[in-house]
Amino acid sequence: MRVNEKYSTLPAEDRSVHIINICAIEDIGYLPSEGTLLNSLSVDPDAQCKYGLYFRDGKRKVDYVLVYHHKRPSGGRALARRALHSDTALAARSVKQDQPLPGQGGLAGAGEPQPPADFHEDDKQFRREEYEGNLLEAGLELEHDEDTKIHGVGFVKIHAPWSVLCREAEFLKLKMPTKKLYHINETRGLLKKINSVLQKITDPIQPKVAEHKPQTMKRLSYPFSREKQHLFDLSDKDSFFDSKTRSTIVYEILKRTTCTKAKYSMGQGEGRKKDSALLNKRRKCGKYGITSLLANGVYSAAYPLHDGDYEGENVEFNDRKLLYEEWASYGVFYKYQPIDLVRKYFGEKIGLYFAWLGVYTQMLIPASTVGVIVFLYGCATVNENIPSMEMCDQRHNITMCPLCDKTCSYWKMSSACATARASHLFDNPATVFFSVFMALWAATFMEHWKRKQMRLNYRWDLTGFEEEEEAVKDHPRAEYEARVLEKSLKKESKNKEKHRNIPEESTNKWKQRVKTAMAGVKLTDKVKLTWRDRFPAYLTNLVSIVFMVAVTFAIVLGVIIYRISTAAALAMNSSPSVRSNIRVTVTATAVIINLVVIILLDEVYGCIARWLTKIEVPKTEKSFEERLIFKAFLLKFVNSYTPIFYVAFFKGRFVGRPGDYVYIFRSFRMEECAPGGCLMELCIQLSIIMLGKQLIQNNLFEIGIPKMKKFIRYLKLKRQSLSAHDEPVKRKQRYEADFTLEPFAGLTPEYMEMIIQFGFVTLFVASFPLAPLFALLNNIIEIRLDAKKFVTELRRPVAVRAKDIGIWYNILRGVGKLAVIINAFVISFTSDFIPRLVYLYMYSKDGTMHGFVNHTLSSFDVRDFQNGTAPNDPLDLGYEVQICRYKDYREPPWSEHKYDISKDFWAVLAARLAFVIVFQNLVMFMSDFVDWVIPDIPKDISQQIHKEKVLMVELFMREEQGKRQLIDTWMERDLKEGGPRNSHGPRAALHGGAL
C-alpha cells in the first residue's frame, strides 16, 4: 500500500479516512495483503490519480516533482517515520531539537542499538523542511510519497492552484489568448492558387495533428492580468494554463523560494565550531534556491512530469503519445515536423531548435542536388580531361624522383593514373561554380531562417519579449551567489580583525551597530565579483586553451610522422602491389587514426570547457551558456578541422626539392602531394572524418550511451528494490517512471554537432561536393533520433521561452563568412584550377591543355643528391636514370641559376592571390546583396503584428467607452431621481475603479 504524507491546504475532513485507518493497522504490526487493501477502498487509488499524474484526491494535477534520498526504516520503526513526517507537524519539526534523526527509530525499543547520528543527512532534512514550508507560504500545495518501488527515494509532488497560476502569470507577463478573434490576412490571386496547389501536393507529408493545420483565425494575445480576467476565456480553467506553462510557473517559484538555515554542522571539535560559525553567517546571508539545493544534494532531482505513457494497448491519448506517433518515429521520416505541438509540449527554446534543424535540412535539398550534378559532371568529363590523360599515357615515360630517402626508388608518373582520374571528379571547372553557389546558399539559408523565426514568434506570441529576457538575464546563478557570499564573509572577517586591533570610539561603535543592523542578505547586495576576483580563472582558461590547442597540433604532427615513417617502411616491401598502393594505404590509415582521436578529444574537450566555464563563475545562466558555447566550439573546431587544414594548406608546401629537402627532427622528410595535387587526399580526409563523426559520434553515441545509462540505472534500482523487500508487482507511478529517465542536459550538444556539420558542408565544399548530400541523409535520421530521445529517453525539460537561437546564429554567420575565404584558398592553392588557367592563356602553344603536366614538372640531375639520400636500388625501373622530375616551378640543372624558383612560379602565385581577392570580395558582395534584398520580417507578418496592436487599442478603447457610458447612464438616473442618495453604491465603486 502506498503511504502518502500530504503537505496541503485541504482541511483534515477531506482526506481519505481509509488510508489513515490502514496506516494505524500497519503501525501496530498487522500487515494486510494487497487484496485486503484494495477491497478496503472503493476504487483503485493509483487509477484514481491516473498513476501519479494527479494528487491522491484525483483532482489536483501534479505540476512538478522534487526527488530526495532518505533512509527508510523497517518493521517496528514505521511508527517513528510516520510521526516524523506527519501532516500537521511541519511547523513543529522546524523548531524541535529532540526529534530523531532521519534513519533513527526514535520510538523503537529502548534496548535496541541506535545507528550513529548523521548530521549531514539531518541538515539536508532540515533544509528540505524549511524549503517546503516556504513553498507552502508561496501558495503551492505539496504531497509526499516515500513508499515507492524505488528503495530509499522519496517524492514531493507539487501542485499550483489557480490563484498562484494567475499571480505568477501576471508577474512573468505571460501572453495568453483573449476572447477576441480576428481573421489572418490571406494571400489573394495567383499566390492563393499556388498555395492551395502546394497544400494539396504536400498533404500526404503533413503530420496529422490539429496544431499543424493552416489557420484562418487567431486569438488576440495579451499579457495576463488579474484585473482584466474578463478579457480572457476562462470557461475551462483547468486547460487555460497548459502543462508546459504550469511547470514553468512552478519552476520560477522554486528558483525564487530560498532556504536560509541549516540545523547541524558538518564536523566535530574545532572544525565543527568553525562550520557552526559559518552556518550562523549563512543564516544571515545564505540563499538556497532549488538550483543550490540540487547542487548540494538536498534534492537529487527536480522535473515536470510527462503527460503519460507513449506506447501500450490501454494508454490514454495524450500529447506525448501523439508526438511519438507523428514525430518521434522513424516511419514518419518523410513528413514535416509538428513544430507547434513540439513547442506546446517542450517549450519555445526546444521548439526553435527543431524548427531550425528542419529549415537547415530542407535547405540542404537544393545544395545536395547541385552537388550531385557537379559530381556527375566530373564523372562525365573524366575521359576528356587532357592532364589526367597525359599522366596515364605510358608513352610519355616520365620518371619521377623518389618519394623518400634511400629505401624509395624512382617511379613512373603513369602509376598515379587512378589518383589523377579520381581528382578530376572533384577538381573541375564546375567546382568553382559550386563554391560560389554554396556561399550564396549559406546567406540565403540565414535569411530564410530569420524569416521563419519571425513567423514562429508571431504564431507563438513572442513579439515584444525583450523585457522578460532582460529580467531573466539579470537573475544570478547559485554558484555566483555562493562566491559573492564567500567574498562578503571574508571581507566581514577582515573588518572585524581590524576593529579588534584598533580601539573604537563611540562614533565607530555607532557605525558598527548600523552595519550590523544592515547585515543579512543585504550584505551581498553591493558585493560583486570583479576582474581581479576572476583573474586566476581567466589565466587558467587562457593557459588551458592554449595547451589544448597545442595538444591538437602535436597529435596532428604525430600523425604526420606516422605517415612518413609508414610510407618509408612500406617502400621496402618486396611485394609490388604493396608498393604501388603506398599512398592510398597511408592516407586511409592516417585518416582513421585522426577520426578516433577527434572523437575521443571531443568528449574530453567538452568536459574541460564546462570546467573552465564553472571556475569563471559567470553571473547569469545566459552568460554561463554563452561562455561555455564559445569555449566548446573553439576547442572542437580546432580539433575537428586541424587535420583537414593541414592537408589543404600545408602538405606539400614546405617540402624543399631533391637534394635539399626539409626534414622534421632531422630524420623525417616532409611528405609531398601526389602529381595530381592534394585535393583528392583532402576529399578522402574530409569524407571519412565527416561520415565517421556522423555515424559514430552523432548516431551510435546518441543511441547507445543513453540506452546503456538507462539499463545501468534500471539494474541499480532493481538491485536496491530486491535488497529491501519483495513488494507486490504494481504499475509504476508517472513520477517514478520519469525518475528512471536520463536528465535533460541542455541543447548545447545538439547544436554543436549540427554547427560542426555545417562547417564540413560549407568550409571545404570545393573539395567534396557530395558533403551536402551526406549531411542531408544524416539529418533526416538525426531529426527523428533527437525527437525519439526527447520523447522516450529524457525527463521532460522545463519549458523555456526564447525568441531566437541565441549565440548560435552569430556562430553560423561567422562560419559562413569564413567558408568564403577558405574555399577561395582551396580553389586557388590546393587545386590545379589556377595553374591550368595560367598555362592555358599564357603558355599553351595551341590554346589547349596539351603539355600542362610537363609544364608543372621541374628536372633534377641525380648526381646532385646529397650523400646518403640517393636510392639504394637506382636500377629498379630496369634502366639507369640520369634526370628525374618533381612537381615544382624551378630552373633546370643546365640553367645558370639551377634549381632556383622560376618566373612561372611567380606568375602562378600572382594569379592565385588575385583570384582569392576577386573571389572573396565578389562572393561577399553577393552574399550581402542577398541579405539586403530579402527582408528579415515577412511583409504579411509585419502587417499582422501591426493589426494586432490596432485591435488591442480598439479593444481597450471600447472597454473604456463602455465604462464611461455606464457611469453616465447611472449619473443621469441619479439626477432624475433627485440627486445621488447612496454614494457608497456600485456606481461609486465602478467610478473609482474606472478612475
Q: Nearest 10 degrees: CA dihedral of 811, 817, 822, 825?
A: -170
Q: How far apart, in whole angstroms, are the C-alpha atoms of residue 2 and residue 155?
A: 12
- pLDDT one-digit tens code per residue, 291-306: 888 888 889 999 999 9
Greater confidence, 458 or 312? Answer: 458
Q: How far apart, in whole angstroms, are the C-alpha atoms of residue 368 and residue 600?
A: 30
CB 923 within 8 A of CB 895: no
Q: How far apart, in whole angstroms, are the C-alpha atoms of residue 354 and residue 345?
A: 13
Coil, strand, or helix at residue 956? helix
Q: How far apart, in whole angstroms, are the C-alpha atoms of residue 272 and residue 955?
A: 65
What pLDDT band is residue 507 in, cutting at 50, 70 and 90? very low
Of all helices (H) and strands (E), which one includes residue 832? none
Q: Give alpha helix (H) positions in 744-886.
A: 748-762, 771-788, 807-825, 833-838, 852-855
* Nearest residue to 588 via CA among 659, 687, 657: 687
- 772 pLDDT exceeds 90? yes
Greater confidence, 766 or 815? Answer: 815
pLDDT (mean) for 886-913: 90
DSSP assignments along 851-882, one per residue: THHHHTEEEEEGGGPPTTTS-S-TTTTSS--S
What are the percentages of helix, strand and coil residues in the chain, rounded to 5?
Answer: 60, 5, 30
In degrees, to the nearest 5, what angle opens at C-alpha 785 toward C-alphas 782 and 791?
140
CB 80 within 8 A of CB 96: no
Rg of the chain in Å (alpha carbons): 37
- pLDDT for res 140: 92
Nine-digit cell at 834? 589556377
Q: Nearest 10 degrees: CA dihedral of 632, 634, 636, 639?
A: -150
CB 783 within 8 A of CB 354: yes
- pLDDT one-digit tens code per residue, 272-286: 444 444 444 444 334
Quickly count helices (H) and strands (E) in the chain: 36, 15
Q: How far apart, in whole angstroms, are the C-alpha atoms of residue 148 and residue 134?
A: 25
Max mean pLDDT range (307-316, 395-404, 833-842, 942-951): 833-842
Lowest average pLDDT, out of 13-22, 426-435, 668-677, goes to: 13-22
pLDDT (mean) for 138-154: 82
CA–chain centroid gap for 411, Å, is 52
What pLDDT band is residue 914 in, cutting at 50, 70 and 90? very high
pLDDT (mean) for 151-155: 83
Q: How far apart, in whole angstroms, are the C-alpha atoms of residue 187 and residue 38?
A: 61
CA distances from 768 to 368, 379, 419, 678, 771 (A): 11, 14, 15, 13, 6
* Nearest residue to 822 via CA among 672, 592, 637, 691: 637
- pLDDT one-digit tens code per residue, 83-93: 334 343 343 33
- pLDDT one-digit tens code per residue, 573-618: 767 767 667 777 888 888 889 889 998 998 899 899 999 998 888 8
Q: How far apart, in whole angstroms, are the C-alpha atoms of residue 329 and residue 781?
A: 10
- pLDDT one-digit tens code per residue, 28-41: 333 333 333 333 34
- pLDDT one-digit tens code per residue, 362-396: 999 999 999 999 999 988 888 888 888 888 877 77
Coil, strand, or helix at residue 221? strand
- 978 pLDDT exceeds 80? no
- pLDDT for res 87: 41
Classify residue 495 as left (phi > 0), alpha (psi -120 to 50) or beta: alpha
Nine-digit cell at 365? 535539398
- 24 pLDDT exceeds 90? no
- pLDDT for res 308: 84
- pLDDT for res 366: 94
What pLDDT band is residue 211 in, cutting at 50, 70 and 90? low
- pLDDT for res 58: 82
- 2 pLDDT exceeds 50? no
* Average pLDDT of the residues of the chain: 77
pLDDT (mean) for 665-687: 79
- pLDDT for res 436: 87
CB 44 within 8 A of CB 180: no
Q: How far apart, in whole angstroms, are the C-alpha atoms of residue 819 and residue 817?
A: 5
Max mean pLDDT range (219-223, 626-630, 971-975): 626-630
- 158 pLDDT exceeds 90? yes
- pLDDT for res 346: 93
Of all helices (H) and strands (E), which one includes residue 373? helix 348-380
- 757 pLDDT exceeds 70? yes
Nine-digit cell at 704? 547507445
pLDDT (mean) for 762-772: 88
